[in-house]
Structure 1
Amino acid sequence: MDELTLLRETRIDVTPPDQSALDRGRAALLHAAATEQAAQPRRVPARPKLRWAVGMSLAAAAVVTGLVATSIVGFGTTDSAVASVLHESAEAAIRTTDPVVGPGQYLRIDTTAVNSTTTAGNDGDTSYLTIATDSLFIPANQGDEWVWARGAAKPYATFGTASEAAAAKAPAGTAELVRAAGGAFYAGSPRSGPTEAETWPTEPRALLAAIRDETAGQGVSSDDEALTYIIDTLSRNPMPAETRSALYEAAALIPDVEIQDDRATLNGRTGVAIGRTEGKANTRQEMIVDPSTGDFIGQRRVLLSPESGMPAGTTTTWTSSSTTVSDTAPEGGTPNGAMDDEGCVVTGVSEFQC
């Protein structure tokens, strides 16, 4: 029995609202409670857990019933629903214990990624989608050797005859096994230690302000770029629970962020898709989260209107990842993978001459 059903049964003369009204009522009440807690700056871990009291008074029950019956007067339904889901996800992230990687073990991150490729043809541009999977093994001592098993990209979806022909002509992808101390793959900088996002404030408004400063002047709009930064950061596993929680709360403050699908399935995992439509970019970008665990399931971009042979509604890119602890990592590999196989010479940070 859900909470609002329990409350309604205290008054048998009230006409039961439909499910959408119940959802809006619960979202509004959660949002109101979350807003009260957010009035003063604080660090995310110190945030008290929001719980429903089973023994609510009849007066409180009447308030909730009134909110449901009046379609949540005074609340923006979509905004409050987004705030509720992301606040719930943030709270769950803090409650969830991050994977513990013992000596000699690895944090294993398996990622599946789909991307679009566009080619020019006599009849205009045409596109197709490719898919690739990879596994990253991060040692308990992050200064030790990281291992990255990168799968070859292969065609995933096409859109008509021209698209099929372009996909068939595409060069075969290359699988790689890369190994480097501190995760300094491809002559890059070591990846061990805290990320930039982990050094930023965890109070949501301060964090969003820092993100806006970091992305100023980029992208098609400041709001789109802020959400892009948050999604990209969440996609870079591993992300500590405190940082993940703060990023969820910051995303809830971005204008026009809405719930796009309350049962979105991505690579076999289901969560809530929260996103923002950006007409200038002809896309809607979404992040999929699991409010019950605080997990970031993945991200996707969806076309608003036809483009380069792809119909409106096409998911042009998506990524999904899962994290486990592994006792072993693949043997072999070199710091620069295929670059080493081809005899390329390092000329600078992440730069090669082949």
Structure 2
Amino acid sequence: MSDNFTALRSLRRDHDLPPETVDASLERAWLRFETAARATTVRTGGTAPARTAPPVRWLRRSRPALLTGAALVVASGLVATGVGVTHWGSPESAAAATLHEAAAAAAADRTPAGAYTKVVESELSMVSATSDGEHYDEGYLEPTTTITWVPADVSATWIRETRSGEPTKFFGGAAARKAASDDGATEPSAPVRERGVSGDFAVGELGGERAGRLGASDIADLPRDPHALVRRIEAAPRAVDTTDELHVFDTISGLLRTGLVPADLRATMYEALATLPDVVVTEEQVSLDGRRGTAIGLPHWSRTEQHDVIIDAADGTYVGERSIQTRRIGSIPAGTVIDSVTVRVTPVDDQP
């Protein structure tokens, strides 16, 4: 372990990295190593918990945590996250160039602000179903439109209107169609309107922040320097065993999706993404809900999914995001876009 620390400090000298950055990262890596080692010791000689079969019901897809073993924790602590992901590796040139171009365009954005921000999310997401009570091997795609009016003072009352549409595509047979019927997805639905102080709605992507997680209320105070922003994100709570790189990518993706990130911070976020060692252009031109952009992602976001953010490099606009299933699961083939969302932002003077 001491040899690895020495190598990292030598790398700092070669790349002129700040000593405090290296020392802090080494400390994080060491703490992760100790935690992983203790967990491995506790597990040794024990018995694995019994597996329980999933209930016979449908559920919405949720993003999986990236799990790692003790050895991988050590490796990621000393390599992928050892000196802060902002200083390691060379991202794919196409990804870095696209992000730099988008950052420059975003920094030049002079869109006027309004008393409120109207955020329109158009989403198409997979609702999963099980045909055998154990495997979620069928599903259907359901469109949802969410309109949120956010006051300039985000601690004031937000208004949100949500409308779901009928399924656009089924994967599988009876289980998927029964799930849609049980959920009422096959019948026209009236829009649901909610009010929430500080955006604290009952459910949903926008508002209702988890304690300690970075969200809309933190946006105003986030650093406008990409390296400082990455360090701030790294210090925030995260899912268990999530790498720094994945944590930074997902946090920035989530904040961009709010539609509330001002132009200067959006530029900083693009520059921060450009520093991630494994970020790549996954597709040069993507069309989402009639809007086009470049897909930027991490190739190993999870074992079964690829997650991308879509940006228009020409004007620095955040178009949206998507998740693609990378291997066949039951009736859902590899390459299926299991979730996509476009975000349109407009300054307005009033709430409805």
> What TM-score, normalized by structure 2, do the two folds share?
0.63
Aligned with residue 294 of structure 1, among 309, 316, 333: 316
Percentage of pairs with the same residue: 26
Q: Measured at CA, do residues 127 and 164 of structure 1 come closer, stay the same or move farther in structure 2, by a change above 3 Å?
A: closer
Aligned with residue 94 of structure 2, among 73, 77, 81: 81
Alpha-carbon separation, structure 2, partners of 1:186 and 1:119: 24
- Say whether 1:110 aligns with 2:120: yes
Post-superposition CA distance 1:221-243 (Å, at most 9, x none) = 43223211111111112111121
Post-superposition CA distance 1:265-304 (Å, at most 9, x none) = 1111001111112274311111000111111000011111
Maintained 8 Å contact 1:158/1:167:
no
Q: Which amino acid aligns with 1:113?
A: E
Matches within 5 A, 1:223-238: 223-238=245-260
Q: Measured at CA, do residues 251 and 143 of structure 1 come closer, stay the same or move farther in structure 2, by a change above 3 Å?
A: closer
Q: Which amino acid aligns with 2:193?
A: L
Maintained 8 Å contact 2:159/2:195:
yes
Give 1:148 deviation, angstroms: 1.0
Structure 1 unaligned residues grouped into runs of 5+? 1-38, 42-75, 331-354
Paired position in structure 1 for 2:346: 324
Question: Alignment partner of 1:214: what SS?
Answer: coil
Paired position in structure 1 for 2:201: 185
Alpha-carbon separation, structure 1, partners of 2:257 and 2:241: 19
Maintained 8 Å contact 1:298/1:319:
yes
Maintained 8 Å contact 2:103/2:267:
yes
Question: Alignment partner of 2:235: what SS?
Answer: helix
Give 1:189 deviation, angstroms: 7.2
Matches within 5 A, 1:166-315: 166-172=178-184, 175-186=191-202, 195-215=217-237, 218=240, 221-278=243-300, 280-315=302-337
Structure 2 unaligned residues grouped into runs of 5+? 1-15, 19-88
Q: Measured at CA, do residues 184 and 129 of structure 1 come closer, stay the same or move farther in structure 2, by a change above 3 Å?
A: same
Question: Alignment partner of 2:351: what SS?
Answer: coil
Q: Which amino acid aligns with 1:80?
A: S
- Say whether 1:92 aligns with 2:108: no
Maintained 8 Å contact 2:148/2:160:
yes
Question: Alignment partner of 1:85: what SS?
Answer: helix
The number of residue pairs the alignment matches comes to: 255
Question: Alignment partner of 2:148: what SS?
Answer: strand
Matches within 5 A, 1:3-42: none
Post-superposition CA distance 1:40-94 (Å, at most 9, x none) = 99xxxxxxxxxxxxxxxxxxxxxxxxxxxxxxxxxx9972221111111111111
Q: Measured at CA, do residues 304 and 94 of structure 1 come closer, stay the same or move farther in structure 2, by a change above 3 Å?
A: same
Alpha-carbon separation, structure 1, partners of 2:239 and 2:192: 36
Q: Measured at CA, do residues 232 and 184 of structure 1 come closer, stay the same or move farther in structure 2, by a change above 3 Å?
A: closer
C-alpha RMSD over aligned residues: 3.2
Question: Alignment partner of 2:298: what SS?
Answer: strand
